[in-house]
Amino acid sequence: MRWIWIDKFAEFESGRRAVAIKNVTMAEEHLHDHFPGFPVMPECLMIEAMAQTAGILVGEAAGFREKVVLAKISKAVFFDYVRPGDSLRIEAEITTMAIEAASTSGTITRGDQTIAEIELMFSHVDRNLAGKKFPEENFVFTGTFTGLLRDIALNHKRPVAQPTESG
């Protein structure tokens, strides 16, 4: 199963940049343990939010024909705690797009405050590990994410590529 860690896209410019929103809530069970009496969002889950935002941006740019996997966290710097009730704005931008991979850079903000700066690299896995087989469920674009993009396409009346059923 794939889990969705961002709530919606607020902006989506194909091949260029995307902005997603993630609302943090005390209903997320891990916050009860991280930490008891002092709930803060784990930094790795901020990276996950960026990876989903940027990963969909990269996948859509290639028309969802490539299997996109997170290959490298080039940079991840955090400036403040994120607490339940916070609304995060996750902005990702493609810095380089090549046949076999892409790199992105982005920021996470809360209001006018920068929470994190995160640079990632994504690999188009079939271009790099030709012949190796991976289970389909390892990949993001199996349809679960379609809804996120459908919403933004409807709201902005902008055509956005949709993943095919075969993933």
- Which of 113, 128 has the CB closer to other proteins? 128
CB of 119 to other proteins, least distance (A): 9
**Residue type at 27?**
A
What b/e readout covers 104-118, taking b as 16+ CB neighbours within 10 angstroms? bbbbbbbeeeebbeb
Return the residue of 4, 15, 16, 74 that touches other proteins, per CB under 8 A: 74
Indicate if 34 belongs to the active site: yes
Catalytic residue among 30, 34, 124, 156: 34
Nearer to other proteins, 41 or 69 (CB): 69
72 sits near other proteins (criterion: CB under 8 A)? yes
Task: Pick one of 27, 36, 98, 166: the residue that binds other proteins (CB under 8 A).
Answer: 98
Q: Contacting other proteins (CB under 8 A), which of 80, 87, 100, 138?
A: 100
Shortest CB 103 distance to other proteins, Å:
5
CB of 40 to other proteins, least distance (A): 25
The answer to whether residue 103 forms part of the interface with other proteins (CB under 8 A) is: yes
DSSP code string of the chain: -------EEEEEETTTEEEEEEE--TTSTHHHHSSTTS----HHHHHHHHHHHHHHHHHHHTTT-S-EEEEEEEEEEE-S---TT-EEEEEEEEEEE-SSEEEEEEEEEETTEEEEEEEEEEEEHHHHSTT----GGGSS-SSTTHHHHHHHHHHHT-------TT-
Instruction: Compute the least distance from the CB of residue 96 to other proteins, in Å.
Output: 4
Q: Residue numbers of the site for other proteins (CB under 8 A)? A: 71-72, 74-75, 95-96, 98, 100-101, 103, 121, 123, 128
The catalytic residues are 34
